[in-house]
Amino acid sequence: MLRFACTGSRPEPYAAGPSLLLDVRVDEDAGRRVHAVVLRTQIRIEPRGRRYTPEEAGKLTDLFGEPSRWGETLNPLQLATVASTVPAFTGSTTLAVPVPLTYDLDVAAAKFFHGLSDAPDEDRADEDHVVPLLLLFSGTVFYAGPDGVQVGPVAWHEEATHRLPVAVWRAAMDEHFPGAAWVRLRRDTLDALAAHRSAHTDRDWDETVLRLLKEAGP
Protein backbone atom coordinates (compact mmCIF):
# COMPACT_ATOMS: atom_id res chain seq x y z
CA MET A 1 0.00 0.00 0.00
CA LEU A 2 1.22 3.48 -0.84
CA ARG A 3 1.15 6.38 1.60
CA PHE A 4 1.35 10.06 0.66
CA ALA A 5 2.47 13.27 2.35
CA CYS A 6 2.80 16.83 1.03
CA THR A 7 6.13 18.18 2.23
CA GLY A 8 6.31 21.62 0.62
CA SER A 9 5.11 24.07 -2.01
CA ARG A 10 6.64 26.72 -4.24
CA PRO A 11 5.84 28.77 -7.35
CA GLU A 12 6.63 27.22 -10.73
CA PRO A 13 8.69 29.96 -12.45
CA TYR A 14 8.89 28.34 -15.91
CA ALA A 15 5.22 27.50 -16.53
CA ALA A 16 3.27 29.16 -19.34
CA GLY A 17 0.80 30.50 -16.77
CA PRO A 18 0.62 30.87 -12.98
CA SER A 19 1.34 27.51 -11.35
CA LEU A 20 2.38 25.95 -8.08
CA LEU A 21 4.50 22.90 -7.41
CA LEU A 22 3.44 20.68 -4.51
CA ASP A 23 6.14 18.29 -3.28
CA VAL A 24 4.42 14.95 -2.62
CA ARG A 25 6.35 12.16 -0.91
CA VAL A 26 5.24 8.63 -1.81
CA ASP A 27 6.13 5.76 0.56
CA GLU A 28 5.86 2.01 -0.05
CA ASP A 29 6.47 0.10 3.18
CA ALA A 30 6.32 -3.49 1.94
CA GLY A 31 9.72 -3.35 0.27
CA ARG A 32 8.33 -4.03 -3.21
CA ARG A 33 9.78 -2.41 -6.30
CA VAL A 34 7.30 0.08 -7.72
CA HIS A 35 7.69 0.34 -11.50
CA ALA A 36 5.36 3.34 -11.91
CA VAL A 37 2.26 5.02 -10.51
CA VAL A 38 -0.32 6.71 -12.70
CA LEU A 39 -1.57 9.22 -10.17
CA ARG A 40 -4.59 11.49 -10.05
CA THR A 41 -4.58 14.20 -7.38
CA GLN A 42 -7.67 16.19 -6.44
CA ILE A 43 -6.75 19.36 -4.51
CA ARG A 44 -9.35 21.08 -2.35
CA ILE A 45 -9.28 24.22 -0.24
CA GLU A 46 -10.60 23.68 3.30
CA PRO A 47 -11.74 27.19 4.38
CA ARG A 48 -12.69 26.10 7.92
CA GLY A 49 -9.06 25.28 8.71
CA ARG A 50 -7.92 28.87 9.38
CA ARG A 51 -8.94 32.17 11.01
CA TYR A 52 -9.98 35.35 9.20
CA THR A 53 -9.54 39.03 10.01
CA PRO A 54 -12.56 41.35 9.68
CA GLU A 55 -10.98 42.77 6.51
CA GLU A 56 -10.61 39.30 4.99
CA ALA A 57 -14.16 38.39 6.01
CA GLY A 58 -15.44 41.49 4.22
CA LYS A 59 -13.64 40.52 1.01
CA LEU A 60 -15.08 37.00 1.17
CA THR A 61 -18.72 38.05 1.66
CA ASP A 62 -19.49 37.52 -2.03
CA LEU A 63 -18.19 33.97 -1.73
CA PHE A 64 -19.54 32.80 1.64
CA GLY A 65 -22.10 35.40 2.66
CA GLU A 66 -22.08 37.23 5.98
CA PRO A 67 -19.78 35.74 8.66
CA SER A 68 -22.83 34.97 10.80
CA ARG A 69 -23.73 32.32 8.19
CA TRP A 70 -20.27 30.81 7.82
CA GLY A 71 -21.23 27.84 9.95
CA GLU A 72 -23.35 26.73 6.98
CA THR A 73 -21.54 28.27 3.98
CA LEU A 74 -17.81 27.80 4.67
CA ASN A 75 -17.57 24.70 2.51
CA PRO A 76 -14.60 23.17 0.63
CA LEU A 77 -13.59 24.70 -2.72
CA GLN A 78 -12.14 22.81 -5.67
CA LEU A 79 -8.67 24.10 -6.61
CA ALA A 80 -7.57 21.60 -9.26
CA THR A 81 -7.43 17.96 -10.33
CA VAL A 82 -4.15 16.98 -11.96
CA ALA A 83 -2.66 13.83 -13.43
CA SER A 84 0.97 12.84 -13.06
CA THR A 85 3.24 9.82 -13.34
CA VAL A 86 5.50 8.65 -10.54
CA PRO A 87 8.67 6.98 -11.93
CA ALA A 88 10.12 3.74 -10.59
CA PHE A 89 11.27 3.65 -6.96
CA THR A 90 11.80 1.43 -3.96
CA GLY A 91 10.94 2.60 -0.47
CA SER A 92 10.06 6.24 -1.08
CA THR A 93 10.31 9.04 -3.62
CA THR A 94 9.20 12.65 -3.96
CA LEU A 95 7.19 13.97 -6.87
CA ALA A 96 6.64 17.63 -7.82
CA VAL A 97 2.94 17.90 -8.69
CA PRO A 98 2.18 20.93 -10.89
CA VAL A 99 -1.01 22.82 -10.02
CA PRO A 100 -2.31 25.34 -12.59
CA LEU A 101 -3.83 28.52 -11.18
CA THR A 102 -6.05 31.29 -12.48
CA TYR A 103 -6.62 34.93 -11.54
CA ASP A 104 -10.16 34.87 -12.93
CA LEU A 105 -12.11 36.29 -9.98
CA ASP A 106 -15.27 34.58 -11.21
CA VAL A 107 -13.61 31.32 -10.15
CA ALA A 108 -14.29 30.62 -6.47
CA ALA A 109 -10.74 29.47 -5.61
CA ALA A 110 -9.18 32.59 -7.16
CA LYS A 111 -11.63 34.85 -5.35
CA PHE A 112 -10.77 33.08 -2.08
CA PHE A 113 -7.00 33.52 -2.51
CA HIS A 114 -7.41 37.14 -3.61
CA GLY A 115 -9.35 37.94 -0.42
CA LEU A 116 -6.56 36.79 1.91
CA SER A 117 -3.70 38.84 3.27
CA ASP A 118 -0.08 37.70 3.17
CA ALA A 119 1.31 40.86 4.77
CA PRO A 120 3.30 40.38 8.00
CA ASP A 121 1.26 41.24 11.08
CA GLU A 122 2.68 41.12 14.59
CA ASP A 123 -0.81 40.35 15.93
CA ARG A 124 -1.18 37.25 13.77
CA ALA A 125 0.78 34.00 13.76
CA ASP A 126 2.33 32.65 10.58
CA GLU A 127 -0.38 29.97 10.63
CA ASP A 128 -2.94 32.72 9.95
CA HIS A 129 -1.32 33.40 6.57
CA VAL A 130 -1.92 29.96 5.06
CA VAL A 131 -4.55 28.18 2.99
CA PRO A 132 -5.41 24.69 4.25
CA LEU A 133 -5.34 22.20 1.39
CA LEU A 134 -6.56 18.61 1.24
CA LEU A 135 -5.05 16.32 -1.40
CA LEU A 136 -7.07 13.26 -2.39
CA PHE A 137 -5.32 10.53 -4.39
CA SER A 138 -6.42 7.84 -6.80
CA GLY A 139 -4.80 5.96 -9.66
CA THR A 140 -3.01 2.76 -10.63
CA VAL A 141 0.19 1.20 -9.24
CA PHE A 142 2.48 -1.06 -11.28
CA TYR A 143 4.76 -3.04 -8.95
CA ALA A 144 7.03 -6.09 -8.92
CA GLY A 145 5.32 -9.31 -7.87
CA PRO A 146 6.43 -12.95 -7.65
CA ASP A 147 5.20 -13.61 -11.20
CA GLY A 148 6.27 -10.33 -12.81
CA VAL A 149 4.60 -6.96 -13.00
CA GLN A 150 1.38 -6.69 -11.03
CA VAL A 151 -1.24 -3.95 -11.13
CA GLY A 152 -3.28 -2.52 -8.28
CA PRO A 153 -5.24 0.61 -7.39
CA VAL A 154 -4.16 3.49 -5.22
CA ALA A 155 -6.31 3.11 -2.10
CA TRP A 156 -9.32 5.42 -2.35
CA HIS A 157 -8.87 6.68 1.24
CA GLU A 158 -5.31 7.95 0.72
CA GLU A 159 -4.99 11.68 1.32
CA ALA A 160 -2.59 14.35 2.57
CA THR A 161 -2.87 17.84 3.98
CA HIS A 162 -0.80 20.94 3.35
CA ARG A 163 -0.89 24.48 4.73
CA LEU A 164 -0.05 26.55 1.68
CA PRO A 165 1.38 30.00 2.54
CA VAL A 166 -0.64 32.77 0.91
CA ALA A 167 2.71 34.35 0.00
CA VAL A 168 3.51 31.34 -2.21
CA TRP A 169 0.27 31.82 -4.17
CA ARG A 170 1.01 35.56 -4.44
CA ALA A 171 4.54 34.84 -5.71
CA ALA A 172 3.16 32.45 -8.35
CA MET A 173 0.83 35.20 -9.57
CA ASP A 174 3.58 37.84 -9.50
CA GLU A 175 5.68 35.63 -11.79
CA HIS A 176 3.17 36.42 -14.54
CA PHE A 177 1.13 39.41 -13.32
CA PRO A 178 3.48 41.44 -11.08
CA GLY A 179 1.54 43.87 -8.94
CA ALA A 180 -1.61 43.31 -10.98
CA ALA A 181 -4.89 41.38 -11.05
CA TRP A 182 -7.40 40.47 -13.74
CA VAL A 183 -11.12 41.08 -14.19
CA ARG A 184 -13.07 39.25 -16.89
CA LEU A 185 -15.39 41.43 -18.99
CA ARG A 186 -17.77 40.84 -21.88
CA ARG A 187 -16.31 41.80 -25.28
CA ASP A 188 -18.80 44.63 -25.79
CA THR A 189 -17.97 46.02 -22.34
CA LEU A 190 -14.25 45.85 -23.11
CA ASP A 191 -14.82 47.58 -26.47
CA ALA A 192 -16.71 50.41 -24.75
CA LEU A 193 -13.98 50.72 -22.11
CA ALA A 194 -11.28 50.79 -24.79
CA ALA A 195 -13.16 53.53 -26.66
CA HIS A 196 -13.41 55.56 -23.45
CA ARG A 197 -9.68 55.12 -22.83
CA SER A 198 -8.85 56.20 -26.37
CA ALA A 199 -11.14 59.25 -26.22
CA HIS A 200 -9.44 60.46 -23.02
CA THR A 201 -5.93 59.39 -24.11
CA ASP A 202 -5.42 57.56 -20.82
CA ARG A 203 -1.96 56.10 -20.28
CA ASP A 204 -3.21 52.71 -19.10
CA TRP A 205 -6.30 50.78 -17.97
CA ASP A 206 -5.79 51.83 -14.35
CA GLU A 207 -6.15 55.49 -15.29
CA THR A 208 -9.34 54.72 -17.24
CA VAL A 209 -10.96 52.77 -14.41
CA LEU A 210 -9.91 55.30 -11.77
CA ARG A 211 -11.38 58.08 -13.92
CA LEU A 212 -14.71 56.24 -14.15
CA LEU A 213 -14.75 55.53 -10.41
CA LYS A 214 -14.10 59.20 -9.66
CA GLU A 215 -16.88 60.25 -12.04
CA ALA A 216 -19.28 57.77 -10.39
CA GLY A 217 -18.59 59.25 -6.96
CA PRO A 218 -18.70 57.44 -3.60
Domain locations in the chain? 2-178, 185-218
User: Letter for the amino acid at 99?
Assistant: V
According to the model, what pLDDT value does residue 122 have? 55
What is the overall mean pLDDT for the chain? 91
Provide the pLDDT confidence category of residue 123 given band limits of 50, 70 and 90: low
Q: Pick the range with the lowest mean pLDDT from 109-113, 133-137, 203-207.
A: 203-207
Q: Could you tell me what percent of the chain has a pLDDT over 90?
A: 67
Distances (CA, A) of 11 to 97, 147, 180: 11, 43, 17
Alpha-carbon span 143 to 32, nearest angstrom: 7
Alpha-carbon span 135 to 88, nearest angstrom: 22
pTM: 0.86
**Three-class SS state of 117:** coil
CA torsion sign for 10, 11, 15, 17 is positive
CATH number for 2-178 (one of 2.60.40, 2.40.50, 1.10.405, 3.40.50): it is 2.60.40
Q: Pick the range with the lowest mean pLDDT from 2-11, 78-87, 143-152, 165-174.
A: 143-152
In tens, the pLDDT along 86-121 reads 999 999 999 999 999 998 888 999 999 999 987 666
What interhelical angle do 187-199 and 205-216 show, nearest 10?
A: 90
According to the model, what pLDDT value does residue 95 have? 96
**Three-class SS state of 30:** coil
Give yes or no for residue 67 having a pLDDT over 70: yes
Assign 3-state DSSP to the chain and report helix, strand, coil percentages, each to 5.
Answer: 30, 40, 30
Question: Please, which residues have CB within 8 angstroms of residue 135's CB and are 6 or more apart in sequence?
Answer: 4, 6, 22, 24, 41, 42, 43, 44, 159, 160, 161, 162
Question: Please, which residues have CB within 8 angstroms of residue 65's CB and are 6 or more apart in sequence?
Answer: 73
According to the model, what pLDDT value does residue 124 have? 60
**Three-class SS state of 98:** strand
The residue-averaged pLDDT of 136-157 equals 91
**How much is the CA Rg of the chain, to the nearest whole Å?**
22
The residue-averaged pLDDT of 2-27 equals 95
